[in-house]
Amino acid sequence: MKVVSYGGGVQSTALLVLAAQERISYRTFLFANVGDDSEHPATLRYVHEVAKPYAAAHGLRLEVLERRRRDGRTETLRQQLLRPESRSIPIPVRMSNGAPGRRSCTANFKIKVIGRWLREHGATSTHPATVAIGISVDELHRANRRRSEPHESIEYPLLDLGLRRTDCVQMIEDTGLPVPPKSACYFCPFKTIKAWQELRRNEPDLFAQAADLEAALIERRLSLGKDPAYLTRRGVPLGQAIPETAAPLPLADDRDADCDSGWCMT
């Protein structure tokens, strides 16, 4: 069994193109949707309006998966974050010193969701599935072949082909497809300050939803006797951290996202 962990971004869409061109031997793509209320709407539109039709036209299978609880109900990441009884926060919110907290969102909503599908379709520790992740040469630091579950073996076809992100963009454009936006939750704390500014400027409704979510998480932490935690490293609520009229950023304040797993942002 060979599948691609499809994140809806540039690199995994390049894998889709490579598969359509039969340059890699993968026919099944798995998109773990963290929730229609959690994934960035632009990513969801790209998956459903561009990637799925393209896959079908080339005889490829693109499955959209959701997290299921033990009772069979589906659950989104935002729903889990807002559970009244929850005492922990699964996303890497920023502590008062700017450091990210512990996270389980990638494991629970990406890795385990795909892993469950693989096991349900026959993958075992003795017969593991091969799972391709779209990490390109310029993101070599994100590749770690040891990060695999017993039922899977991780591969990086873009590394094997020596392709950079710019190569992936060119490949997608040459095919006639629109280049996908960067894939991630719209409220992801690993978003750069520049990306937060763009969200507030271009998608104020989404920015407001992120601010409301942050406020709910702060309120819960305070009720538990804990310090507040934030969606940016600036140590203040989102509306204050990202003012409507923003001054130019110092370069040190706009580092690239710190997520290195490759499961969310490819």
Which helix H or strand E contains 158, and what residues bound it? helix 157-160
pLDDT above 70: residue 147: no
What pTM was computed for the model?
Answer: 0.90
pLDDT value, residue 208: 97
Q: What is the pLDDT of residues 63-116, one digit of tens each?
A: 999 999 888 899 999 999 999 888 889 999 998 777 778 889 999 999 999 999
Residue 252: per-residue pLDDT: 46
For 33-62, the pLDDT digits (tens) are: 999 999 999 999 999 999 999 999 999 999
What's the mean per-residue pLDDT of the chain? 90
CA–CA distance, 223 with 231 (Å, rounded to integer): 18
Q: What pLDDT score was predicted for residue 96? A: 78
Quote the CA–CA distance of 222 and 86 in Å, as a whole number.
Answer: 13
Please, what is the angle between helix 10-20 and helix 165-175, to 10°?
50
Task: Kindly state the percentage of the chain with pLDDT values over 90.
Answer: 76
234: exposed, middle or buried (C-beta count within 10 Å: 0-12, 13-18, 19+)? middle
